[in-house]
């Protein structure tokens, strides 16, 4: 690599985002010859100025270049006969905990209530086409957890909580595109994620790990304040050195089970609101100052406003923005309406959607405090249920045009939408509590001020965006990650309140397994 040269450039998108054009540009400048190779090391789009530019870092060399794995090497020894650890949930936290377990000499046993990717796909079709939700297999439950049929945005601010590069390398090793290693806002897309998730599971099984699908944990085995295993819905017992509980933010039965079995849990602030959908063209125009986005990807946005109501301040913010995406029914039961967003790798749908949510604190939950630590969960459930009661059938979602919502008027008609089960015109104020309604209006006003053209009746809000993060924390020791009251229990990932997204959940899975191995090393067994 001694002959390689590094370049930092600021280029027009049509050059920076197209390999052929970039090559021609570098040659034109005399920086690249026919015998040389180049590799993009870093790439970010800067849309802050009137004319959008791309910052790009690249290396030119005499020898072919590739993105080397510096943090991940697959384990090679089978762990079939090694001590078992039990991992509940096959979401990002559970899968990455299992990979880590293998590298630390444990036999991971993953127990997952949902189906594998293929079986799950049929259940998603039933939700979208028939409005029937299988409570064990849906957009939240099944192989890969909530991360499989998601957007696959991999940007995380939690860079200090683990090794982000390692997570990306593992994803690339299992089929993710290499550009996630150098893009500032990496994204995989819902069309590619299922294959990657399956490949990760195959690695786990190939190295001697075990995965049980269609198997729900219904009970914990706790003796003398220590968890030795779990019992499934069919009464099977699975025991191991420790239990990593990575069941996600929608496993309400697990939160209830914790309370029933005396495992300490706490209320955790979360956020709730609606999803807003605009024509993607409109967001492109606003963000790129141009009617044609050309080589640029579908534009996104991220906004926050501090709302004030009755002397209390609460954040209103955009959440999980999906440019060129789809709104999906993320309910885990047939008698509730929950929406979320996803997008394919090309982000080429006609729509831009984003959650717009209000931060919820314990003081906001009047009428729910008798539920103790489950107050937030019950509050969340009550609004999801009200949304379902407001519509006429299935998973049709309540919707209102954006300006109508702000004016407080009924929408006589709705826009077309990416939401497959269909929409029904309902005034959102009849579903949402007043304090959320009012704060959302304040938020939208503020966003309209920041993005001219954002406040329009060509956009509509669709409800309810309620599963933004867990309304519960399962408290654990800061250093050891072991539960504060129950030994050998490692609450993990988003459901336990320690992650918010695919990458942070994956990193937390690795972290919990690492700490478990430090406290209870495999070789001592």
- Compute the least distance from the CB of residue 393 to ligand FAD, in Å: 22
Q: Which is nearer to ligand FAD, 320 or 474 (CB)?
A: 320
Between 154 and 440, name the residue whose CB sits nearer to ligand FAD.
154
Contacts of 60 (CB under 8 A, 6+ apart): 4, 5, 7, 26, 31, 32, 36, 37, 38
Biggest CA pair distance of the chain: 73
Q: Compute the distance between CA of residue 116 and CA of residue 448 in angstroms, rounded to an integer.
A: 42
| In the complex, least distance from residue 137 CB atom to ligand FAD, rounded to whole angstroms | 8
The distance of closest approach from Cβ of residue 299 to ligand FAD in the complex, given in angstroms and rounded to an integer, is: 16
**How far is it, in rounded angstroms, from Cα 335 to Cα 332?**
9
Q: Provide, rounded to whole angstroms, the least separation between the CB of residue 141 and ligand FAD.
A: 3
Give the nearer residue to ligand FAD in terms of CB position, either 13 or 189.
Answer: 189
Q: In what order do the strands lie in the sheet with 217-223?
A: 217-223, 226-232, 237-239
Find all residues with CB under 8 Å of 334, minimum gap 6, and list them.
131, 132, 133, 135, 395
Q: How far is the CB of 322 from ligand FAD (least distance, A)?
A: 7
Q: Closer to ligand FAD at the Cβ: 32 or 502?
A: 502
Q: Minimum Å distance from CB 168 to ligand FAD?
A: 12
> In terms of Cα–Cα distance, which of 129, 102, 127 is closest to 114?
127
H or E stretch at 146: none
* Interface residue list for ligand FAD (CB under 6 A): 88-94, 111-114, 139-142, 145-147, 150-153, 216-217, 246-248, 251, 253-254, 320, 328, 330, 340, 342, 493-495, 499-503, 505
**Judging by beta carbons within 10 Å of its beta carbon (0-12, 13-18, 19+), is residue 119 exposed, middle or buried?**
middle
- Of the two residues 150 and 418, which places its CB atom closer to ligand FAD in the complex? 150
Please tell me whether residue 509 adopts helix, strand or coil conformation: helix
C-alpha to C-alpha distance for 243 and 491, rounded to whole angstroms: 8
DSSP string, 315-383: EEEEEEEETT-EEEE--SSTT---EEEE--TT--SSEEEEEEEEEE-GGG-TT-GGGGGGHHHHHHHHH
Q: How far is the CB of 211 from ligand FAD (least distance, A)?
A: 11
Q: Name the one residue in this structure whose structure tokens are 């690795």.
A: 510
- In the bound state with ligand FAD, the residue whose beta carbon lies nearer, of 6 and 118, is 118
Strand partners, 487: 226
Is 439 or 473 the residue whose CB approaches ligand FAD more closely?
A: 473
CB of 493 to ligand FAD, least distance (A): 3
Which CB sits closer to ligand FAD, 394 or 509?
Answer: 509
Cβ proximity to ligand FAD: between 109 and 246 the closer is 246
Helix (H, G, I), strand (E, B) or coil at 227: strand
Min. distance of Cβ 47 from ligand FAD in angstroms? 20
């Amino acid at each position: 690599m001694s002959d390689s040269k590094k370049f930092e450039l600021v280029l027009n998108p049509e050059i920076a985002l197209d390999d052929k054009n970039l090559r021609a540009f570098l040659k034109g400048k005399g920086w690249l010859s026919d015998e040389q190779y180049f590799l993009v090391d870093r790439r970010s789009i800067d849309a802050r100025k009137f004319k959008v530019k791309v910052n790009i870092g690249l290396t030119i060399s005499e020898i072919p270049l590739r993105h080397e794995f510096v943090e991940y090497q697959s384990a090679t020894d089978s762990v079939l006969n090694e001590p078992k650890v039990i991992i509940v949930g096959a979401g990002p936290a559970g899968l990455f905990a299992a990979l880590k377990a293998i590298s630390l000499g444990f036999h991971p046993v993953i127990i997952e209530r949902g189906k594998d990717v293929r079986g799950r796909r049929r259940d998603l079709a039933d939700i979208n086409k028939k409005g029937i939700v299988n409570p064990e297999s849906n957009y939240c439950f099944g192989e890969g957890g909530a991360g499989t049929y998601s957007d696959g945005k991999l940007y995380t601010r939690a860079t200090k909580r683990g090794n982000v590069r390692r997570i990306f390398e593992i994803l690339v090793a299992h089929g993710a595109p290499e550009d996630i290693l150098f893009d500032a806002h990496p994204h995989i897309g819902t069309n590619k994620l299922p294959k990657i998730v399956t490949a990760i599971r195959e690695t786990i099984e190939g190295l001697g790990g075990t995965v049980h699908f269609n198997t729900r944990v219904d009970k914990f085995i706790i003796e003398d304040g220590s968890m030795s295993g779990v019992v499934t819905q069919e009464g099977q017992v699975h025991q191991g050195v420790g239990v990593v509980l990575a069941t996600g933010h929608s496993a309400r039965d697990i939160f209830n089970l914790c309370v029933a079995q005396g495992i300490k849990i706490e209320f955790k602030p979360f956020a709730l609101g609606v999803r807003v959908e605009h024509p993607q063209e409109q967001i492109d125009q606003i963000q790129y100052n141009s009617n044609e986005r050309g080589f640029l990807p579908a534009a996104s946005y991220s906004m926050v406003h501090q709302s004030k109501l009755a002397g209390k301040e609460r954040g209103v913010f955009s959440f999980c923005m999906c440019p060129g995406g789809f709104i999906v029914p993320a309910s885990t039961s047939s008698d509730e309406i929950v929406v979320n967003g996803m997008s394919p790798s090309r982000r080429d749908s006609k729509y831009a959607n984003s959650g717009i949510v209000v931060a919820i604190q314990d003081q906001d939950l009047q009428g729910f405090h008798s539920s103790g630590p489950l107050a937030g969960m019950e509050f969340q459930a009550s609004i999801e249920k009200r949304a379902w009661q407001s519509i006429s059938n299935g998973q049709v979602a309540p919707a209102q045009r954006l300006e109508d919502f702000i004016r407080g008027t009924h929408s006589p008609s709705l826009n077309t939408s990416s939401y497959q089960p269909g929409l029904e015109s309902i005034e959102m104020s009849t579903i949402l509590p007043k304090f959320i309604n009012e704060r959302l209006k304040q938020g939208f006003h503020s966003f309209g001020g920041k993005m001219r053209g954002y406040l329009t009746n060509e956009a509509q809000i669709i409800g309810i965006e309620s599963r933004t993060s867990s309304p519960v924390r399962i408290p654990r020791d800061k250093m050891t990650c072991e539960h504060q009251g129950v030994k050998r229990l490692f609450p993990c990932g988003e459901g336990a309140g320690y992650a918010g997204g695919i990458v942070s959940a994956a990193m937390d899975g690795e972290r919990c397994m690492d700490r478990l191995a430090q406290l209870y090393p495999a070789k001592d067994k």
